[in-house]
Amino acid sequence: MSVFLQPLQTIYANSGSVASILFSSIPQTYTDLVVKVSTRDTGASQHMFFDLNGTAPTGFSNTLLFGDGSSTYSQRRTDGLLTFTNETSSSTANTFNSMDFYIPNYTSSNYKQIILDSVTEQNGSGAYSNLMAILWRNTAAINSIGLGAAGTAFAQYSKFSLYGVLRQGI
C-alpha cells in the first residue's frame, strides 16, 4: 500500500510560550491524519490536554502503557489528558519530547480510534516512553484538533505539525 503524507499546517511557539494550539478547518479529503508534536511545558506538569471538534474531555477512553527505564506501568483514563511532555522542574534543560498521533478514518461515521506514541528526552533518569490507545466515542468527522498544556504553557520552540494521509491501493 502506498502512503502519502501531505503537510497541512504547522504551529510554532516562536516568540514565547503558548497555552494551547488549535488545528481548525481540517480538510475532509484524506483517509487519515498524523499529528507530530515536540513540546516542553514551562511549568511542572508532564501532561497535555487533547480535544477533538472542541469536545474535551467528554467521550474519551485512553489506555496507556509506559515505562521509565526501570519500571513499566499501565493506566486507563477518561479525561482527555495525555502524557508525557518534558517540563521545567525535572527535565534536562532545553530538551523537548517527541509525540506522534495517528488518526485513521477521521471522516467516518464510526467512533474514532487514535494511536499515540511518545517519548520524553532526558540526559538522566526519569525519561518516559509510552503508547496510548484512545477511543473517542463520537461519530462526527474530525474537523479540529486542540492541544493544551496541563501545566503553565508550551515553551518557546514547541512545534505542532498536522499531516493528511492518502492511502492508495494494496
Query: What are the domain boundaries of the chain?
Result: 2-168
**Which triple of cell numbers denotes residue 7?**
503537510
Q: Which fold has domain 2-168?
A: Jelly Rolls (2.60.120)
Q: Higher-confidence residue: 140 or 55?
A: 140
CA dist 52 and 64 (Å) reads 19
Residue 115 pLDDT greater than 70, yes or no: yes
Return the pLDDT at 57: 65
Return the pLDDT at 161: 97
pTM for the model stands at 0.87
Residue 69 pLDDT greater than 80, yes or no: no
Residue 85 pLDDT greater than 90, yes or no: no
Enumerate residues 6+ apart whose C-beta is below 8 A from 28: 107, 141, 143
Binned at pLDDT 50, 70 and 90, residue 73 comes out as: confident
Dump pLDDT digits (tens) for 14-39. 877 888 899 999 999 999 999 999 88
Return the pLDDT at 159: 92
Residue 169 pLDDT greater than 70, yes or no: no
